[in-house]
Amino acid sequence: MRLLITGGAGFIGSNFIRYLIGPDNPWRPDWEIINLDKLTYAGNLENLADLAHQKNYQFIKGDICDGQLVKQILETGIDAIINFAAESHVDRSLYEPDVFLKTNVIGVQVLLHAAMHHNVHKFIQISTDEVYGSLKPDAPGFREDTPLAPNSPYSASKAAADLLVRSYFKTYNFPAVITRCSNNYGPYQFPEKLIPLFITNALENKPLPVYGDGLNVRDWIHVEDHCRAILYVLEKGVAGEIYNIGGQGEKTNLEITEMILDLLQKPRSLIRFVTDRPGHDRRYAIDFSKIKRELGWSPTYQLADGLRQTVDWYLKNEDWWRRIKSGVYRDFYQKHYQDRLK
């Protein structure tokens, strides 16, 4: 298998590459991986430093919107593409929606067009449960046929990409698949997202900024469970299908915050409630019965165990996250969080 991973230096992409060919229990050690990543602020080659000299791993710095570069890569012969490349932080999409549209929509179209003309056998678009919008408290989880109702520029850009992928299957019979996953957590997650931000802030005895009343609900999945699901979809998924991927880990943001503080033995007084962000979806929940029934996948991590493992990783990799938080992220945090603390 010769596999093009786009956005492979980011959180989920780098974990997926490590899952396939990394030194710790690799699942497909003989596969050849090409990692195409623009290395924006959240792309970090340090995540894959121990793979840099492997013969079956190659990194190419570049943008998925660069059609000529994508064409040159595909001309070398690619069996499948998994597109992780995306601007992904909802908060940033409120301030820079144009960046999200360029990467998340135009970039996907460039990949699809090139892949179709170079006989790529499977294209997997990594999407999100946020395209479905918000659930009422007692409503059943999102199904693959739940209507799309995105409520942020980020989720709207991902929904647009999903529709493009669907159109290439319907119009050209191109072998594309869409996966929609719930909130990921685990090692190497950039510390702008809730769990790594709150872990690292707590370690520094800094406030943990909880939006609104903290009762927004998310379904949490360990990134390794997500990686395993993507491998199932790559090897067994049916072209034209959508597969929801969930972790059976529904918690309010406040519950997650308190779990982190308890694991670190930090006081609840570090919690600071801040003004809610515009369009903040109240609840997400995933019905993953389709991928369980058709492909045999289900999550293995219990949230409490996975969160404990994640906290341990950030404790053991302090240099990694301190380098990040002392740089570009610090400026964004100060601009968009500090002035909202009550």
Contact 37, 12 (CB under 8 A): no
Three-state DSSP class for residue 320: helix
User: What are the residue numbers of the active site?
Assistant: 129-130, 154
In the sheet that 32-37 helps form, which strands lie side by side, from edge to edge?
57-61, 32-37, 2-6, 80-83, 122-128, 176-181, 242-245
Buried b (16+ CB within 10 A) or exposed e, 121-148: ebbbbbbbbbbbbbbeeeeebbebebee
E-only strand ranges, 51-128: 57-61, 80-83, 122-128
> Token pair 């809730």 is at which residue?
194
| 156 phi/psi in degrees, rounded to 5 | -65, -40
Strand partners, 245: 181
> Closest Cα to residue 125, out of 95, 156, 165, 155?
165
Query: Tell me, what DSSP letter sits at residue 273?
Result: E
- Provide the token pair at 319: 């240099």
Rounded to 10°, the helix 67-74/107-117 angle is 30
Taking Cα atoms as reference points, which of 277, 296, 224 lies closest to residue 12?
Answer: 224
Tokens at 303, concatenated:
């949230």
